[in-house]
Amino acid sequence: MFPEQSEDHTEDHLEAAIRSPSTVPVLGVPLALTDYDRMLEWIEDMVAGQRRGYVCVANVHTVTLSGEDPELRAALLHSSINVPDGQPLVWAMNALGYSLGDRVYGPELMSRACARAASSSHRFYLYGGRNQGALVQLALNLRQRYPGVKIVGGYSPPHRPLSAQERSAVTEEINRSEADVVWVGIGVPKQEKWMAEMRPHLDAPVLIGVGAAFDFHAGLVPQAPNWMQDAGLEWAYRLAHEPRRLWRRYLRYNPRFVGGFARQLVNHRRIERRR
């Protein structure tokens, strides 16, 4: 963990180590200037220090939807970190004058965390999935790909709000598992709202909402080729494979994001010229 030192110095070191990265507001949502390695280190520091926080993995849909969903907006504003999951968000941040090299893609973050956890002994709980069978397949796949990873429990919630009794039972189960990280895969905006609501009640230091990562790693939905991801065309690939579920999302929110960010960029450049 940390070298032996006085109690005051240890506390100062923890505060410095767990400090969240700088952010850039895109359509009012603070997005972190970070990368995979920094996020993995942040997770490790949070677990080591037994601090509590939650991470939202944000794409264009998440950011744009928050403009008309106050509860989602609040969840994003109160999260520990919002990482830019979508390539267009990286381009937007760089257009505002930053030099972010790559996105922090939720499925890849989960993969790297599992690979590292095989040696760090972090304990993972899986909350989400299409059904319990899909969740079992996800856990099996992760254990096969990352020998030694500790999956200490999982729950696939029904596709409706949980009752008070169900919510209490889930809370007890997660806390009893002594998980270090709870991976949440119930989709936007449910997962962000769930993490914001449950954060005070869960002992696990870190909650991370990764959406479609559960389906990808369970082998239920194929991922876009790397060249399409790099070109910002992952949405088109996903739309082609799940048109009934996704066409309304992309038709509604992609144009809204483009228009909203164009206005933000014009205002940003106007302010820069006045300086």
Which whole number is the average pLDDT over 23-31?
97
Share of the chain above pLDDT 70, in %: 94
Q: Tell me, what's the pLDDT at 109?
A: 98
Tens of pLDDT, residues 230-249: 877 887 778 887 888 877 88
Which whole number is the average pLDDT over 58-74?
97
As a whole number of angstroms, the distance between CA 173 and CA 94 comes to 42
Q: Tell me, what's the pLDDT at 4?
A: 32
- Confidence class of residue 20 from pLDDT cuts 50, 70 and 90? confident
Tens of pLDDT, residues 125-141: 999 999 999 999 999 99
As a whole number of angstroms, the distance between CA 90 and CA 228 comes to 15
As a whole number of angstroms, the distance between CA 143 and CA 145 comes to 6
**Which stretches of the chain are assigned E, i.e. beta strand?**
23-26, 29-32, 53-58, 81-84, 123-128, 150-155, 181-185, 206-209
Q: Tell me, what's the pLDDT at 11?
A: 40
Q: Tell me, what's the pLDDT at 259?
A: 97
Which whole number is the average pLDDT over 166-192?
97
Residue pair 209/191 in contact by the 8 Å Cβ criterion: yes
Q: Tell me, what's the pLDDT at 13?
A: 40
Q: Which residue has the higher pLDDT, 137 or 101?
A: 137
Instruction: List the 81-84 sheet strands across, edge first.
Output: 81-84, 53-58, 206-209, 181-185, 123-128, 150-155
Q: Please report, for the chain, the start and end positions of each structural domain, with discontinuous segments joined by +.
A: 18-274
Residue in 256, 269, 271 with CA at minimum distance from that of residue 27: 256
Strands 23-26 vs 29-32: parallel, antiparallel or unpaired: antiparallel
Q: With left for phi above 0 and alpha for psi between -120 and 50, is residue 27 left, alpha or beta? A: left
Kindly report the average pLDDT of the chain as a whole number: 90
Q: Is the pLDDT of residue 17 over 90?
A: no
Q: Tell me, what's the pLDDT at 274?
A: 84
As a whole number of angstroms, the distance between CA 176 and CA 152 comes to 10
Q: Is the pLDDT of residue 145 over 90?
A: yes
Q: Is 146 helix (H, G, I), strand (E, B) or coil?
A: coil
Threshold 0.85, pTM exceeds: yes
